[in-house]
Structure 1
Amino acid sequence: MIQIKYADAADVPEIMALMNLAKELTENKEWYSTDDEAFVRRHLTEEGFILKAVEEDQLEGFFIARYPGDAEDNLGKYWDLANEKLHQVAHMESAAVHPDYRGRGIQKELMARGESILKQKGYHYLMGTAHPDNVYSVNNFLKLGYEILTKTEKYGGLPRYVFGKVMIY
């Protein structure tokens, strides 16, 4: 049975390996942007959190949530949020599922659990990006009730949809 837990520092090498595998196996390399290890480590506690899906100690997938705050890349700017509301924005930053476990709804479950945690923490605006042709990620966002706010270029000129969802309290 799959369990969803918080990741910790000991999980980072496995998360990095899965992130790199996901990029390697993606049919179009523009679909998935990877992060460096320092970025991932910052999201264990200080800039967000990381959830992992595990079964019998096997990492099946991960999800990174980010608190962008005053960062220049806060996606709330695409929603024309007032500056004071930008601190209520959380990013659905990155997710990947090991190829052996795809098709089981793991990414959607990780994101849904992440949403629940973000709601408990008081975030009102959840946002994320996906390449327009990455039907898997686009569909996960849409199934979870996100709307496409715009299409723009991110990550060095790559096309991306920017998604947004308002949390109802």
Structure 2
Amino acid sequence: MEKGMLRLSMEPFEIRSLEMNNLEEILQLQEVVRQAVAQSESDSLQPLTSEEFENILTGNGFMIGTYVNETLIAFRAMLVPPLDDPEHLGADAGLTDEAKRSMMYSEITVVHPDFRGNGLQTHMGKIVLEKVDKTRFRYVATTVAPFNIPSLKDKLALGMDIIALKEKYNGKLRYVLFRDFEAKRSTPAMQTKTVGMDQTEVQQQLLREGYRGISIQSTDEKVEVTYSK
């Protein structure tokens, strides 16, 4: 699918489509990353079960993987969600039941701890969004935990906007990010406001007023989100 050189080590890598016969190495890599994340006490990774990966790999989405020396070091998944999902992100985007059929989720992204810093998450993201069948799917959406800065920056870099901040998945606070492939992104923002990421209620009020989160700025002292409409 694509070959290149890692930014940090200059090792060659290859990106390929993943299939059912890759399931074991997918699960092994996810476990390595899960253990690394657990040590950092972060809830940034929501691991998928073997059955969930099988669902994606057998027609309800697709996956790509990055290999170095024939070893899987990163993967990214796209999911076609079930229409009867009570937490369907299409509802957060105000889509009709019919329009929900045209939505894919940007699902789990995993990068081996030894290969972070190479920009693989967003590089793979650009590839999967190009690979989406635009004749069938118009929208892409995902959820990200507040303060998961790498994942938020990744989704914003891929053209998604924050459209909601609410409890999802057993009461966990999540940003909902959304992109319409047919939307024109050239209209300049008329109003912008920047608020701290920890100001949940202020952000929720802006979102109710029609603002969308378009960028984040992070320093050692604080993290801020810029909203516009």
Say yes or no: TM over 0.5: yes
User: CA RMSD for the aligned pairs?
Assistant: 1.6
Question: Residue 94 of structure 2 aligns with which residue?
Answer: 80
Between the aligned partners of 2:15 and 2:166, the Cα distance in structure 1 is: 32
**Alignment CA distance shift 1:29-1:20 (3 Å):** farther
Between the aligned partners of 2:177 and 2:108, the Cα distance in structure 1 is: 13
1:28 to 30, 41, 46: 41
Question: Residue 40 of structure 1 aligns with which residue?
Answer: 53
Unaligned runs of 5+ in 2: 1-11, 184-229
Deviation track 1:5-64 (CA, whole Å, cap 9, x = no partner) reads 111122111111222222221223322111110110111132111111112211110111
Question: Residue 180 of structure 2 aligns with which residue?
Answer: 166
Q: How many equivalent pairs are there?
A: 169
1:50 to 49, 63, 66: 63
2:25 to 14, 30, 37: 14
> Could you tell me how far 1:129 is from its partner in structure 2?
1.0
Deviation track 1:47-84 (CA, whole Å, cap 9, x = no partner) reads 11111111221111011100114131321110010111
2:1 matches 1:4: no
- Normalised to the residue count of structure 2, the TM-score between the two structures is 0.69
1:104 to 118, 123, 129: 118
Question: Residue 157 of structure 2 aligns with which residue?
Answer: 143
**2:139/2:181 contact within 8 Å kept:** yes
SS at 2:114 equivalent: helix
Matching residue's letter, 2:80:
Y
Between the aligned partners of 2:106 and 2:84, the Cα distance in structure 1 is: 15
1:125 to 139, 142, 159: 139
Question: Residue 157 of structure 1 aligns with which residue?
Answer: 171
> Could you tell me how far 1:164 is from its partner in structure 2?
0.3
Deviating above 4 A after TM superposition, structure 1's stretches of 4 or more consecutive aligned residues are: none
**1:89/1:125 contact within 8 Å kept:** yes
Higher RCO (C-alpha 8 Å, min separation 6): 1
> Could you tell me how far 1:111 is from its partner in structure 2?
1.2
Larger Rg: 2
Between the aligned partners of 1:76 and 1:135, the Cα distance in structure 2 is: 24
Matching residue's letter, 1:60:
I
**2:20/2:58 contact within 8 Å kept:** no
Between the aligned partners of 1:137 and 1:18, the Cα distance in structure 2 is: 18
Matching residue's letter, 2:136:
G
Matching residue's letter, 1:83:
D
Deviation track 1:97-116 (CA, whole Å, cap 9, x = no partner) reads 00111111111111111101
